[in-house]
Amino acid sequence: MQNFDNISEFQLDAFREIGTIGAGNGATALSQLMNRKIGMTVPAIKILPFSKVPEEVGGPEIPVTGIITTVEGPAPCNILFLFPINSARFLVDKLLGSDDIVNENISDMGKSALSELVNIVTGAYLNSLASFTKLQFTPSVPALAIDMAGAILDTVLAQIGIAGDHALLLQTVFTETEENVTGHFFLLPEAGSLEKILQSIGVKG
């Protein structure tokens, strides 16, 4: 059973620090891609029971664009990017033009562009994580769904659910201040991965 009871404050701080550097790289990549100023919050680490996770993004019924990347390697993780629908539309508009938003729906090309954007940000994040830890992180092709936040989260949480009842989230919010575009970035380590990452940088309990 993995409920993260045995993780110390010191270990969480170390993990948060790695996350901050990774998110910084991600924000830089996003900024270059969009040619805009991108801000980010200092990553928050939260250990929550599954039923409370949807509240982090405004409740289980809120429609969102969710893009998930599964990360294989010695410390497997899941990375989930959640955009409010309006933010997703804005990004598609900036990347491709408004032809790819018809009746408020995002075209397949638009979805593909969003996935690619997430791929680049996630890649920048993982590169920094890999160079810090000397561990290998191999991301999958991102998969996208536009639906209720709860429905997207439960698929992601099922992946880690076999080992425990709590999710450890490393959450960063990326913002584009002029247009109020936000994206929630979640890193969810699978069972045992957090320990591996901490060990690799020499942090003990």
Partner 1 sequence: MAKIVKIGMADLNVATPPDVLQTCGLGSCVGVCLWDNVTKVGGMAHVMLPSSGQGKSGNDAKFADTAIPWLIDEMRKLGADRLRLTAKIAGGAQMFSFYSENDIMKIGDRNVEAVKTVLAQFKIRITAQDTGGNYGRTIEFYPESNKLYIRTINLGEKFV
Q: Which is nearer to partner 1, 43 or 150 (CB)?
A: 150
| Residue 42 makes contact with partner 1 by CB under 8 A | no
Residue found by looking up tokens 């620090």 in the block? 17
| Residue 193 makes contact with partner 1 by CB under 8 A | no
Q: Which of 108, 162, 178, 205 lies at the binding interface for partner 1 (CB under 8 A)?
A: 162
DSSP 70: E
| Residue 109 makes contact with partner 1 by CB under 8 A | no
| Residue 141 makes contact with partner 1 by CB under 8 A | yes
Do the Cβ atoms of 4 and 166 come closer than 8 Å? yes
| Residue 164 makes contact with partner 1 by CB under 8 A | yes
| Residue 140 makes contact with partner 1 by CB under 8 A | yes
| Residue 150 makes contact with partner 1 by CB under 8 A | yes
H or E stretch covering 33:
helix 9-34
Kindly identify the residues of this chain, within the stretch 46-75, that bind partner 1 according to CB under 8 A.
Answer: 50-54, 59-61, 63, 66, 68, 70
DSSP 41: P
The burial of 112, by beta-carbon neighbours within 10 Å (0-12 exposed, 13-18 middle, 19 or more buried), is given as middle
Give me the numbers of helices (H) and strands (E) for the chain, helices first please: 5, 10
Q: Which of 18, 152, 168, 170 lies at the binding interface for partner 1 (CB under 8 A)?
A: 152
- Which 3 state secondary structure label does DSSP give 81? strand
Copy the structure tokens of residue 43: 């990553």
Q: Which residues bind partner 1 (CB under 8 A)?
A: 1, 3, 50-54, 59-61, 63, 66, 68, 70, 140-141, 143-145, 147-159, 161-165
